[in-house]
Amino acid sequence: MKYKTIQGREITGDVINRYTRIMSVAGDDGRNYVCWLVGDPAPLKTHSIMPTRPDTFKGIEQIKCRVIKPNGERRTFQSIGAAENHYRTDRSTVSRNCDSEKPMVRGRLKGYKFERLS
């Protein structure tokens, strides 16, 4: 089949991979080319362990989290993920410290205490 490369050349060959807006084509001359997508794109393949459908988590309620700073100031977040994003840390760090009764002893958030509210 004939395809049009990103640079505008016309080539003949077979499609190797289809992406969202472009595709890889193995040309008859032995070289691989990046071409504009022809037709409907194939669904994106994911190798994620987590499900990608948004309605999967519909029935799960979020766990509220309270953060107590070393100076005693308290801040409540609607979810552990919101606290994670605000303090730019891992979800596992927040979750692990929610389960602990003690404040963090090292790192950037030393002295901060996380509590699970619901």
Tens of pLDDT, residues 13-54: 888 887 777 888 899 998 999 988 776 655 555 555 555 555
Q: Does pLDDT of 112 surpass 90?
A: yes
Using CA atoms, how far apart are residues 48 and 22, in angstroms rounded to an integer? 23
- Quote the pLDDT of residue 53: 55
Average predicted confidence (pLDDT) for the chain: 81
* Full DSSP string of 6-72: TTS-EEEEEEEEE-SSEEEEEETTS-EEEEE--SSPPPPP---SS---GGGGTTPPPPPEEEE-TTS
Query: What was the pLDDT predicted at 66?
Result: 93
User: What angle is formed at CA 73 by the lines to CA 76 and CA 87, rounded to 5 degrees?
Assistant: 60
Digit-coded pLDDT (tens) for 52-71: 555 555 556 788 899 999 99
Report pTM: 0.49
pLDDT confidence of residue 42: 53
Gyration radius of the chain's alpha carbons: 25
